[in-house]
Amino acid sequence: MKVHVLLGPPGSGKGTQAKHLVEKLPLIHLSTGDILRDAVSKGTELGLRVKANMASGKLVDDNTVNGIVFARLQDETNDILFDGYPRTLFQAESLQTFLSSQGTALGLVVDIEIQEQELEVRVVNRRVCSNPDCCAIYNLNSKTPQVEGICDLCGSPLKHRSDDTPQALHSRLLEFNKTFEPLQSFYKGKPNYRYVEGNRPPELIHDRLVQLFQEQA
Ligand code: AMP
């Protein structure tokens, strides 16, 4: 098993890119945001615990997120593509320790960079499939569903994430800016760190990502 990481601010397209990549490459997509949203919508003990933080755009505490991730990785044999994890230096260091203890390699770390002004437009127009087994992502400007409000892939209703409002985005960006620099510095010196310019059409970013993954395979 190898573990790859997509870095980038909320709205940079990590989730969309991850979903398209796993259609083409032998990778399993693991989004901590999707796992946590599923827990919130099912009202599990975890969901009740993290609900308020998620709704206001704050991060969930490191130990909770690490616990979810390591339990998920424990018996995994396939290569994993993380989206939204690690989010803090502590998570990155904990992941590294976990991987070393398992004799598992860190694969690519791809940093999708994008200017902040672009993010609000993307996030406010984002719609996601409400089916937790699908989680397809749409955009009212650039990727509209064939039938308004309905997922093309599974027919479930689309919804606007409660943390995709300008207010919650502001809080998510504050969190991001607080935690990102040390996280980026942790990975920047590593040989598998790659930078991708995110202010481009998603198809071009996709092609670049496929190229990067194929080069290192
Ligand atoms: P995302 O779907 O990646 O934008 O994540 C949505 C929300 O889930 C975030 O704003 C956090 O509240 C929570 N979350 C997701 N991943 C993490 C993580 N790695 N660490 C802490 N909180 C997270």
pLDDT band at 148 (very low <50, low <70, confident <90, very high): very high
Tell me which CATH code domain 2-115+175-216 carries.
3.40.50.300
For residue 16, the one-letter residue type is T
Rounded to the nearest whole angstrom, what is the distance from the C-alpha of residue 112 to the centroid of ligand 1? 17
Catalytic member of 49, 58, 159, 161: 161
Catalytic member of 51, 87, 122, 127: 87
Domain boundaries, the chain: 2-115+175-216
Q: Distances from the Cα of 1 to the Cαs of 10, 26, 81, 89, 202, in angstroms?
A: 27, 11, 11, 22, 28
Atom of ligand 1 nearest to the CA of 84: 3
Gap between the Cα atoms of 126 and 141, Å rounded:
9
Q: Are 126 and 11 in contact (CB under 8 A)?
A: yes
Mean pLDDT of 43-67: 96
Mean pLDDT of 141-145: 92
Q: Distances from the Cα of 30 to the Cαs of 90, 100, 185, 201, in angstroms?
A: 19, 19, 23, 23
Atom of ligand 1 nearest to the CA of 32: 16
The neighbour count for residue 166, using CB atoms within 10 Å, is 9
Nearest CA to ligand 1 atom 14: 33
Q: Are 196 and 111 in contact (CB under 8 A)?
A: yes
Atom of ligand 1 nearest to the CA of 54: 12
Mean pLDDT of 48-71: 96
Taking 80 as the threshold, does the pLDDT of residue 217 lie above it?
no
Q: Which two tokens stand for residue 134?
A: 């699908």
